[in-house]
Structure 1
């Protein structure tokens, strides 16, 4: 049966039905994509962002160690013992920060590095 042989009401009902089907398929596709985006954003929020914050804290502690090491080389007397105590405290803090960061590593290339 040709489309020209159908009545106008049947043709328009078929056209609206086709448009409705396309809208339904597009809606289901978008729901699927939104679910995937939610999973990815959850992973970024739960894992990547805390990992980046941990790396920032680790970097700041390493920079403090570098500064204190430079101070240790330049000062003498009482300041040496205070600087040495600060250094040992920072070294312990770096171990804690490093272990916190290692818990959040999920990518195999990052684990290898």
Structure 2
């Protein structure tokens, strides 16, 4: 009788030990998934969201600068033309700030490569824009219009295409991080207790 009681005790202890280990493992897995979800959420908040916002501002300011550049060569009034040129300078300053804000979010080599490609095309466009602003500011409208009718549109299109690739890259990165966070939230937590057996028929 005593031997049988010892065996039952060992069995019971083993069963509770097994259940305890199972609960511990499940807790560790749940903790890992929670940290994974937090990591994905932080990635969206710290990296992707600021990047997308900064690129939105870059796109908006580039559009404004392009419109003002064309407007500057159409102004007949010298004072109105100089007012427009001053606005271009202000927009370009804001653009520089937006680009620096975006650059601070770069953590991957492919992101850096896309950004550097965009910067190269942006500098080419703004170099020509500067020549146009200089001619318009000196009331050399014929020269300014000649420059506008040159490769300005081609430079602008190439620059905006590169910006579009940056926006697409960051949008995709944000979506992937969001999916990782969502999949962690939906991780199923099975019960450590065995399900009840169906009644015998």
TM-score interval w.r.t. the shorter chain?
0.7 to 0.9
Q: Using the alignment, how far apart are the partners of 2:28 and 2:98 within structure 1? A: 44
1:3 aligned partner: none
1:112 aligned partner: 113
Q: Which runs of 5+ in 2 are unaligned?
A: 1-6, 115-201
2:104 aligned partner: 103
Which shifted more, 54-63 or 96-105?
Answer: 96-105
State the superposition RMSD in angstroms.
Answer: 2.1
Q: Deviations over 1:44-95 (max 9, x none)?
A: 2122211211111111111111221232233321321111110111112212
The number of aligned residues is 107
Q: Which runs of 5+ in 1 are unaligned?
A: 1-5
Q: Using the alignment, how far apart are the partners of 1:92 and 1:13 within structure 2? A: 73
Q: Using the alignment, how far apart are the partners of 1:109 and 1:85 within structure 2? A: 36
Cα distance, 1:23 vs. partner?
2.6
Q: Using the alignment, how far apart are the partners of 1:92 and 1:18 within structure 2? A: 66
Cα distance, 1:14 vs. partner?
4.5
Q: Using the alignment, how far apart are the partners of 1:14 and 1:73 within structure 2? A: 87
Please state whether the residue corresponding to 1:74 is helix, strand or coil. Answer: coil
Q: Using the alignment, how far apart are the partners of 1:86 and 1:95 within structure 2? A: 14
Tell which has more relative contact order, 1 or 2 (C-alpha 8 A, sep 6+).
2
Which shifted more, 34-43 or 77-86?
Answer: 34-43
Identify the structure with the greater helix proportion.
1
2:36 aligned partner: 36
